[in-house]
Amino acid sequence: NAGVTQTPKFQVLKTGQSMTLQCAQDMNHNSMYWYRQDPGMGLRLIYYSASEGTTDKGEVPNGYNVSRLNKREFSLRLESAAPSQTSVYFCASRGQGGLYEQYFGPGTRLTVT
């Protein structure tokens, strides 16, 4: 049982390049989330998916798109990376039926130059 996994662990992009961050969970959770965490800051919600086939914007969605590929996988895409998107990105999932704990992946450290 791997929990929540993310790839890649590290990435360096040039301004204007695109990339997709991958996230998968093996806990049969309905809900999945993408957060960004800037140095010394809290977690800010980018997008979330309450169930397969649905996605909703969070606090800071501009510059990002997401895809809930199936129940296990939730990807985050940067179409044209900007230095302001330099951050650590965490994926998380949460169970249903009153199980409110969020389980986080190990994070992707992204630098945009």
| Tokens matching residue 20 | 């997709």
Name residues contacting other proteins, limited to 83-112 (CB under 8 A).
90, 98, 100-102, 104-107
Q: How far apart are CA 78 and CA 70, in angstroms?
A: 20
Q: Alpha-carbon Rg of the chain, whole angstroms?
A: 13
**41 near other proteins, rule: CB under 8 A:** yes
What is the per-residue binding string for other proteins in 51-90, x denoting contact by CB under 8 A? -----x-xx------------------------------x
Q: What is the dihedral of CA 53, 81, 14, 74, to 10 degrees?
A: -20
Nearer to other proteins, 17 or 43 (CB): 43
Q: For residue 36, count other CB atoms closer than 10 A to its CB.
A: 22
Binding site for other proteins (CB under 8 A): 31, 33, 35, 41-45, 48, 50, 56, 58-59, 90, 98, 100-102, 104-107
